[in-house]
Amino acid sequence: MKFRSYFKLLGGALAVLIGINASAQSYLQNPKYGPDEETRKECAKNLSLYSTFYKQKNYKDAYKPWRQVIKLCPAASKNSYIRGANILKWRFQQEADPNKKNEIVDSLMMLYDLRIENFDMKGMVLGMKAEDLYMLAPERYEEAFNIAKEALSISQSKTKPSVFFTYMSLVKAMYDNKKLTADQVIELYSQLSDLIEAQIAAKPSDVISQVKDGVDGIFANMGVANCDNIVALFEPRFNSNPDDLGLSKKIRSLMSANKCLSHPLYLNASMKVFEKEPSADLALDIARLQYEAKNPKLAEKYYNEAVNLESNVEQRANIYYELALLTFTELKNLPKAREIALKAIAENPNMGKAYKLIGDMYASERNCGSNDFEKKTVYWAAVDKYYKAKQVDSELADAMDNLINTYSQYFPSKEDIFFYDFKEGDSYTVGCWINERTTIRARR
């Protein structure tokens, strides 16, 4: 049965050979099939023979005629290189002798070089060459690293996504074998991330997004990037060229990924990016950083930038809330803080925490009134806001009940209410900046 199958296959190849006689003149006259007529005939014969075997997945019998094609007419067909790589990788898998396996890998590497020589596309082919070398001979990682590095330098952001991942794997191999320093790894990862981000921006896909996650994962697990390393590497560059937008973005990306947000370099780089490319998210990020850095006036500035740039209603409400909190706790401007909190409520009427914040402002007021009775009336207004907070947001109910119980103890007593000629249940307007209409209640 094996002989029958073989001769059947060979017969198919011969039939193809007979079929090409009609177009033999085109082969004989085309220099890509060889320098002379005899070579061109041999090329055509072997090209047809190996192609027939290859299509039947008979890589063993395809090998010899394929080798003749590469030897006699290397410029005849790009398919001979694509198929040839598959044939050689098949032979590699079948071979048990380590020395012969190495010879096959060398043949594959030479095949890629010959393909570049005859069909160019150097960046793409070098990428495939690096991938196959690392896959088949991982001990040759340094050679593969240099090939992949050259591939990326040529193809840039148009590099095949899998080559990005292979390159980062090779960076790790180089570092693990002490061929790269931590600073070099950070620099190479930074450059690679720029290329990946550029590809995502130009042509987003699930594949490139997955590759990005994989590359980031390799880098994170290497343990080379700590805040001190990043600052030592990039702070001098930033100080020398603070207006380099690409550098500032790179610093932000690396420091964010490694949770170095409290370092002044991250904040300074963020502000430089904002100057060139303002956005609501970036302004909010800077505002929060300034808040944490105890720079309330600068935080206020960037909160206002954020709310002016933000179009989403819910997010605007959140920004107003944070700004109101800053104005209350850090700037100590209670009337203005309430005004901003009311803007948050206008954007999102169900924002219970904004009502709660106003209640806290009222409860913190110690100088609203000319006597002890008037000063205690602020707690009526505060409790009203706590009731409103739990009314619009049921998740706050328990917390608001605790505050209501706490501050109800500071209401005026029945005796005080009677002494100042008021009655429980009557309306009352709390004085000073609060100017809030409420209901008279006695302490219980």
Going by DSSP bridges, is the β-strand pair 437-439/427-429 parallel, antiparallel, or unpaired? antiparallel
How much is the pLDDT for 84?
98
Residue 12 pLDDT greater than 70, yes or no? no
> Rounded to an integer, what distance in angstroms lies between the CA atom of residue 302 and that of residue 317?
15
84 located within any domain:
yes
Beta strand segments in 74-224, E: none
- Which residues touch 329 (CB under 8 Å, ≥6 apart)? none
pLDDT number for residue 2 = 44
Q: Is the pLDDT of residue 14 over 50?
A: no
**Which pLDDT score, from 0 to 100, does residue 436 have?**
95
**How far, in Å, CA of 230 to CA of 146, rounded?**
24
Q: What is the mean pLDDT of the chain?
A: 93
Nearest CA to 157 out of 211, 103, 105, 116 is that of: 211
Q: 83 in a domain, yes or no? A: yes
Q: Does residue 199 lie in a domain region?
A: no
Those residues whose C-beta lies under 8 Å from the C-beta of residue 309, and which sit 6 or more positions away, are 278, 279, 280, 283
Please give the full DSSP string across 15-81, using - where no structure is assigned.
HHHHHGGGGHHHHHT-GGG-SSHHHHHHHHHHHHHHHHHHHTT-HHHHHHHHHHHHHH-TTS-THHH
Contact indicator for 220, 203 with CB cutoff of 8 Å: no
Out of 93, 120, 147, a domain closes at: 120
- Under 8 Å between Cβ of 408 and 383: yes
The answer to whether the pTM exceeds 0.75 is no
Q: Any alpha helices (H) in 277-351, and if so which ranges?
A: 280-292, 296-309, 313-329, 334-347
Q: Which residue has the higher pLDDT, 233 or 382?
A: 382
> pLDDT at residue 1 above 60?
no
pLDDT digits (tens, 9 = 90+) for 93-113: 999 999 999 999 999 999 999
Give the pLDDT confidence of 127-164 residue by residue, as tens digits: 999 999 999 999 999 999 999 999 999 999 999 999 99
Residue 437 lies in a domain: yes
Q: Domain ends where: 95, 120, 145?
A: 120
263 inside domain = no
Q: Which of 29-38, 76-85, 87-96, 141-150 shows the lowest per-residue confidence on average (mean pLDDT)?
A: 29-38
Taking residues 236-258, what's their average pLDDT? 90
Is 111 a domain residue? Answer: yes
Residue 11 CB coordination number (10 Å)? 11
- Residue-range definition of the domain harbouring residue 81: 1-120
CA nearest to 67, candidates 329, 330, 59 = 59
Residue 435 lies in a domain: yes
CB 64 within 8 A of CB 47: no
For the stretch 171-189, pLDDT in tens is 999 999 999 999 999 999 9
DSSP single-letter state for residue 243: T
Position 7 scores a pLDDT of 43
Give the three-class secondary structure for 199: helix
Residue 40: is its pLDDT beyond 50? yes
pLDDT score recorded for residue 44: 93
Domain count, the chain: 2
Percent of the chain with pLDDT over 70: 94
Query: Residue 258's pLDDT band (boundaries 50, 70, 90)?
Result: confident
Percent of the chain exceeding pLDDT 90 equals 85
**Where is the domain boundary, 120, 147, 165?**
120
The answer on pLDDT for 48 being more than 50 is yes
How confident is the model at residue 223, as a pLDDT? 86
- 3-state secondary structure (DSSP) of residue 147: helix
Flag whether 412 is in a domain. yes
Task: Among 134-143, 160-169, 242-251, 272-281, name the one with the lowest average pLDDT.
Answer: 242-251
* pLDDT surpasses 90 at 11: no
CA pair distance 61, 85, nearest whole angstrom: 15
CB 358 within 8 A of CB 336: no
Q: For residues 191 and 247, give the distance between their C-alpha atoms in angstroms, rounded to a whole number.
A: 11
Residue 25 is predicted with a pLDDT of: 60
